[in-house]
Structure 1
Amino acid sequence: MTPPLFLLDDLSAAKVGGQLVLTGSEARHAVTVKRLAVAEEVLLSDGRGRRVRAVVATIERGGSARGGGDGDRVGLTVLSVEDVRGADPRFVVVQALPKGERAELAVEVLTELGVDEIVPWSASRSISQWRAGEKVDKGVAKWRRTAAEAAKQSRRSTLPEVAGLRSTTEVCQLIRQAELSLVLHEDAADALTATVLPPTGSVVIVVGPEGGIAEDELASFTAAGARAVRLGTEVMRTSTAGAAALSVLSALTGRWA
């Protein structure tokens, strides 16, 4: 079984035989949820590609006698250090805001499947809307937390970037800057499976809301350089369509070879 992965912001000085310490929420999770014991192996990542395999050397329990307090500390001895390169091309999913818990599901599954960046999009037909100000900040923060947890679950060495909320105009700017941009649309003539991907750069995949992409939005995206494609004959929910598209494209690039 693959060892559990924990996030540690700074792994720049990690070297074989060296010592590292988990503190805060990651140590609390290691002690109270994973119930790590001395001599168990773990994985560590800084979220930017550095991956460390280590073994638990010491466990100090803070708070109550049963552990779980803010003073928990896990001492680790480094076994190996690896720098994982990012994949090419880079996949950017523009995700229209789903409703309720489906937003977390979309972010979670996209992260597990290897997305490089998630861009929340305020589509005109989105049932859920983040109003300007505090709600936007909370929404983005929640997506980032969900992505971090999903990255740990899937043992990813890099965290996907979660951008701030984008308008349709701002999504058009992303499309213009990308090597290839695709809009998932049920009435598109071209199949996603026939897509020829660029060897490098960024590929933008736009996923519409439950009510579908509005005609004026689709027109704006295609005018900016995007191409409409379909996944198949079935109509998927917005929370699963992006994951299905990402799976197809990952297979086409050889990421899963």
Structure 2
Amino acid sequence: MSLPVFFSTTAAEAVVGQVLTFGEDVAGHAVRVRRLGPGDEFDVVDGAGVRVRGTVTTASANEVALDVSAVTRAESEVPSLVLVQALAKGDRDLQAIEATTEIGVDEVIPWAAERSIADWPAKKKDKLAAKWDNVLRAAALQSRRSLFPSRHELVRGTGLVSALGESDSVFVLHETAELRLSQALSELSTAQEAGAPKRIVLVVGPEGGISDAELDALVGIGATPVLLGPTILRSSSAGAAGLVMTQNSLGRW
């Protein structure tokens, strides 16, 4: 059975054999909520790849000490997986980044598409960005990840192309596309002998769809419109479905 996992940047300082003390940021949940005490084991991750495992020596509501038995570091995989998620109403964008974090997304790019109903107005931008960060962290901990996804700055409309690079393989999920994502991924796998992309990017549009101008801009930098399947998925589920297919194609699942 997997051990409980908590977050603390202090994990980066851990050394095997050391007794590492965590404050209320860890103890508050480990002791008060999970009722962990001396003799229990748990993991602490720093979100940047470090995972510390140890046994509780002392515990209180404000402080917990861990006798460190193992320190490991997770390395980023190549290609990394990127989700461009259009802002959506009803927290569907948050549902999308939560699910894709559990599936293994490495980076998320919030996108205020031309047809997005939801938006991040300037006075609320920092608060809404923090909300995305909290969802990403919680989902990463729930899925027991050592590496947390990174969130990019918000991009708008056709400005999305500025967040994408020449070494990216970009797939735009679009209901009018004829090429299926499964086929595109298969062809990408075959072509990797000539050089693997550094990132595989899945672009998910808003409820009203991606505008012609946005699609043209993406195609103009080499993006490929693709179809997931015979049904139309919501903005909250399209990215997750596409990411599962990508993980499977890469042989990671």
- TM-score calculated relative to the size of structure 2: 0.92
Q: 1:76 to 1:100 in 2, by over 3 A?
A: same
Superposed structure 1 runs of 4+ greater than 4 Å apart: none
Contact 1:178–1:203 (8 Å) recurs in 2: no
Rounded to whole Å, the distance in 2 between the matches of 1:151 and 1:21 is: 23
Aligned pair 1:75/2:65, yes or no? yes
Contact 1:175–1:225 (8 Å) recurs in 2: no
Aligned pair 1:136/2:125, yes or no? yes
Rounded to whole Å, the distance in 1 between the matches of 2:157 and 2:115 is: 12
Deviations 1:173-214 (A, max 9, x none): 233444211100011111100121453511111100111111
Contact 2:82–2:107 (8 Å) recurs in 1: yes
Contact 1:175–1:226 (8 Å) recurs in 2: no
Aligned Cα root-mean-square deviation (Å): 1.4
- The aligned residue for residue 120 of structure 1 is 110
Q: Is 113-122 or 18-27 further displaced after alignment? A: 18-27
- The aligned residue for residue 68 of structure 1 is none
Tell me by how many angstroms 1:103 deviates. 2.4
Contact 1:122–1:166 (8 Å) recurs in 2: yes
Aligned equivalent of 1:232, options 206, 229, 234: 229
Tell me how many residue pairs correspond in the alignment.
245
Rounded to whole Å, the distance in 1 between the matches of 2:210 and 2:58 is: 54
Tell me by how many angstroms 1:167 deviates. 1.4
Aligned pair 1:242/2:231, yes or no? no
Structure 2 residue identity aligned to 1:155: R
Deviations 1:64-102 (A, max 9, x none): xxxxxxxx1011011111111111101111100021232
Contact 1:176–1:225 (8 Å) recurs in 2: no
Aligned equivalent of 1:152, options 141, 146, 150: 141
Aligned equivalent of 2:77, options 87, 105, 114: 87
Structure 1 residue identity aligned to 2:211: A
Structure 1 residue identity aligned to 2:94: E
Q: 1:210 to 1:177 in 2, by over 3 A?
A: same
Tell me by how many angstroms 1:22 deviates. 1.9
Q: How do residues 45-64 of structure 1 correspond to structure 2 at under 5 angstroms?
A: 45-61=45-61
Percentage identity across paired residues of the two chains: 41
Contact 1:140–1:163 (8 Å) recurs in 2: no
Structure 2 residue matching 1:76: 3-state secondary structure: strand
Flag structure 1 segments of 5+ consecutive residues without an equivalent. 62-71
- TM-score calculated relative to the size of structure 1: 0.91
Aligned pair 1:166/2:155, yes or no? yes
Tell me by how many angstroms 1:10 deviates. 3.0
Aligned pair 1:203/2:200, yes or no? yes
Contact 2:88–2:118 (8 Å) recurs in 1: yes
Structure 2 residue identity aligned to 1:118: V
Rounded to whole Å, the distance in 2 between the matches of 1:149 and 1:12 is: 19
Deviations 1:90-144 (A, max 9, x none): 1111100021232221111111011000110001111111112x31111111000
Aligned pair 1:223/2:220, yes or no? yes
Structure 2 residue identity aligned to 1:101: D
Deviations 1:206-242 (A, max 9, x none): 1001111111111111112111001001000001100
Contact 1:181–1:205 (8 Å) recurs in 2: yes
- The aligned residue for residue 66 of structure 1 is none
Higher share in helix: 2
Structure 1 residue matching 2:94: 3-state secondary structure: helix
Rounded to whole Å, the distance in 2 between the matches of 1:60 and 1:179 is: 48
